[in-house]
Chain A
Amino acid sequence: MSTRVFGSGIRRREDPRLITGAATYTDDYTLPDMVHMVLLRSPHAHARIKRIDTTRAKAAPGVVAVFIGTDVEGALNPMPCAWLVPNSNLKVAGYPCIAKDMVRYVGDIVAAVVAESPYQATDALDLIVVDYEPLPAVIDPEKAKQSGAPQVHSNVENNVAFHWTVTGGDVDGTFQKADVVIKERIVQQRLIPNAMEPRSALAHWSGASGELTLWNTTQNPHIARFLCSVVTGVPEDKLRVIATEVGGGFGSKIPAYPADFITVFCAKKLNRPVKWTESRRENFQGTTHGRDHIQDVELAATKDGKVLGIKATSYSGMGAYLSTAAPGIPTILHGLMLSGPYDIAAIREDVYGIYTNGTPVEAYRGAGRPEATFILERLMDMLAAKLGMDPIDLRKKNFIPKFENGHTVATGLSYDSGNYAGALQKLVDHVAYKDLRRQQAEDRKKGRYLGIGISTYVEICGLGPSQVAGAVGFQGGLWESAIVRFHPTGKVNVFIGANPHGQGEETTFAQIVAEEIGVDVNDVKVIHGDTQTTPMGWGTYGSRTTAVGGAALVMATRKVKEKAKVIAAHLLEAAVEDMDYKDGKFFVKGSPDKAKTIQDIALMANVAWNMPAGVEAGLEASSFYDPPNFTYPFGAHLAVVELDPETGQIDVRRYVAVDDCGPQINPVIVEGQVHGGVVQGIGQALWEGAVYDENGQLLTGSMLDYALPRADRLPDMEVLSTVTPSPHHPIGVKGIGEAGTIASTAAVYNAVIDALSPFGVQTIRMPVTPERAFNAIQEAKAGRR
């Protein structure tokens, strides 16, 4: 009999194939008669296309076809936006798959070349002549909103794509009567996700049957199928999307992209399989970016440190077009979370979504929640400094008290469960916080500048009830489904609609089944990522795969178990209500020696020689699980950084995370998710940031200039946890995919300010490069003179 595997850190079964390079990604597939597509992308951030001459390219060796905007017009519908945030005067500007008259960002697609080899296609790319009339460009979302700024879309006044507000409580009254008001400007710089696998599509069209197969690197193959059908007109029933192996996404593989549909268009037009894979350089320009907000934020408090209100205005850059889910990120996933783990009665945020001449922006790990956490955690530290309080004490004073089943906050959300003080206390105890502060003071006397930074957080994930999705304008459902199928030998296939792409659910979902029905974990194989074999699902993002898809799997497995019990009762000639179950065995209460194993029952159900009357053959069940609420994981993180006062260089010396994602199915996988998430957040604080010049050229367009975190710049992490189950989830789990990113940027930033504070530095832009820290020190010194 199997040992208990739920909660045990068994090895990820995904790893052998991923680590040894045996995994098969979209680009690894080659089909007979396949041709290769490359894209000509705009070198201008904003220009009118006056003329395109493809004559020489079409005549180049190996070239099969060249297509421009007018060729796809009519055949490809405009790109849809799928998060139509209500009450925001949302203006979805025209987003053609191939630009026809205007290009609006460096990377906008202008032409597609199809050739027998990628080399020939690339050669021909250089032969296309495009006559551009460059126009002024704007990248900064705040500047883009000002009158007189370049207009990205002629029919969107002041580039305002939407204006969304959230209000809870009496904000104006609160700020009027507050003893203390803290103000800050926060710039959440634009980030470039850089999944390890670049984006790729391989389209196979069968003209004879009218069927399309699209291999596509996506976090949500069913949404990709849905949107592909909308744009290309291929009916959903004849459209198969395969995304069984996806090399990371971090949000950038949620949206549908023009390139995917141009690939489909070419395959249909040429009746040959067409493959497109972006280069890394193309990935920097053409795959969605994240963040890009300029925020003016304010906090109101009493003089003894009770926080009364938060208000904020955010200018959120959307890039040149609205990507699939983009409008929901700085609004629903951000503004509603503005009170975080604190009891704050008055909240208001105005969010302006702004078109700019940058690459379209999408979800990026954490998506809205890191930004909300940053606002709060920054303001908390500023308030602590102003009042001379310790940042820990201030946070404790303002936490929502421990609750187990629902707590409604000012923005109207109802958190599921939380013990924020518990997580922070665990952190404080683990690091011996007072000693740490004492040590810091001693080091400072010796000329060592260490900074200690705290961030607590609560996040909204497990997206979410479909009714809420509809209410907030998300153009899809947010339930998940699972099928559990027992084979005659007792082995199990699980088919899920979600699409894990590195998170480890092939392992953890097998652990769920093993826990629920007592099979060996190695007898369960989890299948995902192919719309032809898996049931409908809404995708892997927002830390929802385990929180929602995992719940669907639990429910499906329990249905199988119910049926198995009926069959067992029949085989044991007992009444169903007299049956008992333990560790994969069904038996009459009190007679565990005479049991039927789940394998016995699977065999009988499949051969069906002796089934109870009225019971169908087979041992299989499906569940479509729509969660009653979101889940709200939380935690407390601490970073210790060291400032080199001579050069301004900052290094992370220590990182401690306490996260509460509910019961952990596999603690090693939880730890891995925290590691990766924390590193991405540290990246934002210290190294990463897209830089454009005044003409809208992306200056950080390659790995030479865009600094991703590197292992040798990072400390070993100390990962701890507390366990507060979600009251509404069948096994209490909440989700852990984004927690690290949500907490770590603020924790590290607060540590940086703490390290810089002896010099009088109170604020600094991210990423905190050595030059920025050095200059801040010099300026603070000069200011004090």
Chain B
Amino acid sequence: MYAPEFDYYRAGSVSEAAGLLRKYPGSKLLAGGQSLIPLLKLRLAAPVAVIDIGRIRDLKGITVKGGTIRVGAMTTHAELAASSELAEQCHALAQAAAGIGDPAVRNRGTIGGNVAHADPASDLPAVLVALEAKLTVEGPDGKRTLDAGGFFQGMMTTALKEHEILTAIEIPAHSKGQGSAYAKFAHPASRYAVIGVAAVVTTSGGKCSAARVAIGGMVPRPVRAASVERVLAGQELSAENIAKAAGQVTESLGNEVLGDIFASEQYRRSVAPVWVKRGLTQAAERAR
């Protein structure tokens, strides 16, 4: 497994990286390298140049300010998993990050690289959609902010335009009475999500005032399970009500459910409600 020849540049800043992207058409950004390096080694990718943004300091770290959590794009999964702020105020993200790959992957892989790669089996895209995160991207036309819901457009496809770089992710911190969780049916080999369910539950007066559920792994891009959210809103968070709502997930999955040799489309459809139920149950427990 030897990669084809490429030029390597290490960018010291976002603007330098953007300049390099423009200068070398057909180049690729290198973040933590957990997806790009294997693609290179398998010779499934052959960029002219690899632009390393993994050491840009400004892109690292987690800060909480005024009810918003800002996560730099080059923050590693291990850092997400270890963050006490996230554990308290954005549990699903920390929980999902802790279950990505193995320690070596978590120590190198970054949230920005993961999200920009938009692998349908990744954990974080669904989590960001459920959390209604905002993604900051920088490019030749300056900065712009995208909703996570619109960012993921399909398998390995995002709203990032040519030469744009994802720099940060902003997530509203949980308010009182709010809780989130990520329930994952992990592939036994890859640890990618066969089914990944991110759930955010908001309670008020002992009832569910709002629920947000996003499904990943089994669909080309994360989908919001509006059918589930609708049924649960305004209900008591009893096991029966959660199960009833989770049962509605099929309606939101659309007709592009993925299947493979480990788990067929039909099987994934059959057990999706179970995983939604588990995600919601955990989120509801944290919301109390």
Contact = CB atoms under 8 A, between A and B. Distances in A.
Contacts of A713: 188
Contact of A774 (B1, B4, B187, B267): B267
Contact of A771 (B4, B5, B192, B267): B267
Interface of A: 118-119, 121-123, 126, 279-281, 646-649, 686-687, 691, 699-700, 703-708, 710, 713, 769-771, 774-775
A649 B264 CA distance: 15
Sorted nearest first, the 6 A-B pairs with minimum C-beta distance are A707-B188, A707-B189, A122-B2, A279-B1, A771-B267, A646-B274
Contacts of A771: 262-264, 267
11 contacts: A119-B2, A122-B2, A126-B43, A279-B1, A687-B188, A699-B261, A703-B190, A704-B189, A707-B262, A769-B262, A770-B185
Given A705-B262, A775-B267, 13 more contacts: A119-B2, A121-B2, A122-B2, A280-B1, A648-B271, A703-B190, A704-B189, A707-B188, A707-B262, A770-B267, A770-B271, A771-B263, A771-B264
Contact of A281 (B3, B42, B189, B261): B42
A706 B4 contact: no
Contacts of B189: 687, 703-708
Chain A CB count within 10 A is highest, among B2, B3, B187, B270, for B2
A705 B1 contact: no
Nearest to B3: A119
Given A704-B190, A774-B270, A775-B267, A647 B4 contact: no
Contacts of B43: 122, 126
A383 to B, nearest CB: 32
B5 A119 contact: yes
B46 to A, nearest CB: 10
* Size category, B interface: 20 to 34
Nearest to A117: B2
Contacts of A707: 187-189, 262
A115 B213 CA distance: 54
A368 B1 CA distance: 33
B1 A123 contact: no
Interface in B187-207: 187-190, 192
B261 A123 contact: no
The secondary-structure label for the interface of chain B is: loop
Interface of B: 1-5, 42-43, 185, 187-190, 192, 261-264, 267, 270-271, 274-275
A123 B4 contact: yes
Contact of B188 (A646, A710, A775): A710
B64 to A, nearest CB: 31
Nearest to B2: A122
A118 B185 CA distance: 39
Nearest to A712: B102
Contacts of A648: 271
Nearest to A649: B185
A647 B185 contact: yes
A567 to B, nearest CB: 57
Contacts of A122: 2, 4, 43
Nearest to B271: A647
A279 to B, nearest CB: 4
Indicate the member of B185, B188, B271 with the most A CB atoms within 10 Å: B188
A142 B224 CA distance: 47
A775 B261 CA distance: 14
A700 to B, nearest CB: 7
Most buried by B among A686, A699, A700, A704: A704
Contacts of A687: 188-189
A705 B5 contact: no
Nearest to B189: A707
Contacts of A119: 2-3, 5
B234 to A, nearest CB: 26
A277 to B, nearest CB: 10
Contacts of B275: 647
A75 B273 CA distance: 63
Contact of A691 (B192, B261, B270, B271): B261
B14 to A, nearest CB: 31
A649 B192 CA distance: 16
Contacts of B4: 122-123
A708 B102 CA distance: 14
Nearest to B274: A646
A642 to B, nearest CB: 15
Nearest to A689: B261
A131 B192 CA distance: 37
B99 to A, nearest CB: 10
Nearest to A119: B2
Contacts of B263: 769-771
A710 B264 CA distance: 23
A705 B190 contact: yes
A402 to B, nearest CB: 41
B11 to A, nearest CB: 24
| Residue in B187, B262, B275 with the greatest tally of chain A CB atoms within 10 Å | B262
Nearest to A122: B2
B112 to A, nearest CB: 22
Nearest to A645: B274
A736 to B, nearest CB: 28
A706 B192 CA distance: 13
Nearest to A644: B274
